[in-house]
Amino acid sequence: MSSPNQIVFFDTTLRDGEQSPGCTMHHDEKLRMAHQISSLGVDVLEAGFAIASDGDFNAVQTIARQVKGTRIASLARCKREDIEAAARAVEPAASNRIHVFLASSDLHLEAKLKITREQALDQTAESVRLARTFVDDVEFSTEDGTRTDPGFLLKMITVAVQAGATTINIPDTVGYSTPAEYEAIFRTVKASVPGIENVILSTHCHDDLGMAVANSLAGIQGGARQVECAINGIGERAGNAALEEIAAALMVRRDQFPYTNNIKMEQLYPTSQMLAEFISFGCSPNKAVVGANAFAHESGIHQHGMMANPLTYEIMTPASVGVANTNLVLGKHSGRRALADRLEKLGHTLTRDQLDDVYHRFTELADRKKSIYDQDLLGLLHSDKSAVATH
């Protein structure tokens, strides 16, 4: 058991993330990504779904053999062949885990698995016990847990704990829950399941309604001490909870989340950039924490505030998450202060009248041209016969 004040970061970029369209990585890319995720400081790295293919098995096994400093996990259904494949794949790791899952909602049991609740409970107990014969660390997930009958959810979790599960994950598999509902589930589990004090509770949230990070943080408030997440929020459909957003929230809002974790914050941006190299898309420019615009400002009012004191519009420094610097973008919304500052950095100091004249022509250009570059500014400067530049 980790400290009750410690948040365990479980990264599923290479499993749930890679399962999503456009996110497939070949063997060497997965290995490089795994080394970087380990350098980021995650506690558990879910390297893949060993039974899925020979390629997935080999990737998990190679990562287990070569990546140090983090616990290596493989996913497995509640099937003997899955669990045995996962065990073989993670066996070389110094620290390993088998992550077993089974659907818990009636919708999934009836429509997908075509089994009864009692059969599901039997499979849960049998599978967790089998996994424990291979490893000491077994996680059990109640797939579609947030749409499961509350009474049956408690029964399934109780069975898993009694069978030897060391982590219980309650996934919001289809991104259906709300923060208040999700927090309440964890509080109920903590209050109702015998032996739960010896188990780590975990969140795993999808972003179908845009609440994956909010739900994950609510789960922590409800007693979860592990968060399952992915770099850049990649994952099935709308994605998983974004690791970098959860980590940043825990850093910035320590007043609300007085917990510790092992994430090396300055590695967030480099890790995000590496992932973007390997998959078919990068993150949106307005993506929190690691997007191109996360520390960029074009509005004149914002630029003025930033030059006076960065705290006016930035709640964390770019350097704290591995970004080189704040970017004051010059465009049609920019003000005189930002223009003067940029010209000074280019070696040109203007009088108030000279700046007024150049600014007038700058706004005319910005109305016609979306991106303003340094050479554009110098062109405006040199076309102004009255502006005498000094160095």
Q: Spell out the residues 6+ positions from residue 367 whose beta carbon is closer than 8 angstroms to its own.
A: 332
Residue 288 included in any domain:
no
Residues 268 and 330 in one domain: no
Q: What is the pLDDT of residues 157-190, one digit of tens each?
A: 999 999 999 999 999 999 999 999 999 999 999 9
pLDDT band at 4 (very low <50, low <70, confident <90, very high): confident
Q: Give me the mean pLDDT over the 119-124 stretch.
A: 98
Residues 167 and 59 in one domain: yes
Q: Which of 244, 278, 312 delimits the end of a domain?
A: 278
Residues 254 and 160 in one domain: yes
Q: Give me the mean pLDDT over the 27-31 stretch.
A: 97
Residues 44 and 12 sit within 8 Å (Cβ to Cβ): no
pTM of the predicted structure, to 2 decimals: 0.90
Q: What whole-number distance in Å separates Cα of residue 13 and Cα of residue 17? A: 4
What's the total number of domains in the chain? 2
Three-state DSSP class for 258?
coil
Residues 324 and 254 in one domain: no
Residues 206 and 321 in one domain: no
Summary mean pLDDT of the chain? 94
Helices (H), strands (E): how many in the chain? 14, 10
Residues 319 and 289 sit within 8 Å (Cβ to Cβ): no
Beta strand 327-328 with 226-229: parallel, antiparallel or unpaired?
unpaired
Q: What is the pLDDT of residues 223-253, one digit of tens each?
A: 999 999 999 999 999 999 999 999 999 999 9
Cα distances (angstroms) measured from residue 334 to each of 112, 362, 364: 55, 10, 12
Residue 300 has a pLDDT of 79
Q: Spell out the residues 6+ positions from residue 1 whose beta carbon is closer than 8 angstroms to its own.
A: 198, 200
Q: Give me the mean pLDDT over the 288-315 stretch.
A: 88
Q: What whole-number distance in Å separates Cα of residue 185 and Cα of residue 315? A: 31
Q: What is the CATH number of the domain that holds 107?
A: 3.20.20.70
Our CA angle for 357, 358, 363, nearest 5°, is: 105
The amino acid sitting at 80 is R
Residue 389 has a pLDDT of 44
User: Looking at 102-116, 358-372, 377-391, which range is the least confident one?
Assistant: 377-391
Residue 1 has a pLDDT of 56
Residue 225 included in any domain:
yes
Q: Per-residue DSSP letters for 188-217?
A: HHHHHSTTGGGSEEEEEEB-TTS-HHHHHH
User: Looking at 80-89, 289-298, 318-327, 364-373, which range is the least confident one?
Assistant: 364-373
Q: Give me the mean pLDDT over the 91-113 stretch.
A: 98
Residues 263 and 214 in one domain: yes
Residue 179 has a pLDDT of 98
Residues 272 and 302 in one domain: no
Residues 174 and 274 in one domain: yes
Structure tokens given for 268: 């967030």
Residue 193 included in any domain:
yes
Q: Which of 278, 310, 340 delimits the end of a domain?
A: 278
Residue 283 included in any domain:
no
Residues 310 and 245 in one domain: no
Residue 3 included in any domain:
no
387 or 342, greater pLDDT: 342
Q: What whole-number distance in Å separates Cα of residue 76 and Cα of residue 88? A: 12
Residue 41 included in any domain:
yes
Residues 63 and 183 in one domain: yes
Residue 69 included in any domain:
yes
Q: Spell out the residues 6+ positions from residue 374 whose beta carbon is closer than 8 angstroms to its own.
A: 342, 346
Residue 330 included in any domain:
yes
> Residue 388: is its pLDDT beyond 50?
no
Other CB atoms within 10 Å distance of the CB of residue 318 = 17
pLDDT band at 358 (very low <50, low <70, confident <90, very high): very high
Strand partners, 11: 45, 229
Residue 387 has a pLDDT of 45
Beta strand 71-77 with 8-11: parallel, antiparallel or unpaired?
unpaired
Residues 272 and 314 in one domain: no
Residues 129 and 90 in one domain: yes
The amino acid sitting at 4 is P
Q: Which of 278, 311, 340 delimits the end of a domain?
A: 278
Domain span including residue 373: 296-382
Residue 386 has a pLDDT of 46
Residue 99 DSSP symbol? E
Q: What is the pLDDT of residues 183-228, one digit of tens each?
A: 999 999 999 999 999 999 999 999 999 999 999 999 999 999 999 9
- What H or E segment, with its residue span, contains residue 333? none
Q: Spell out the residues 6+ positions from residue 78 whose beta carbon is closer than 8 angstroms to its own.
A: 100, 101, 102, 123, 124, 126, 127
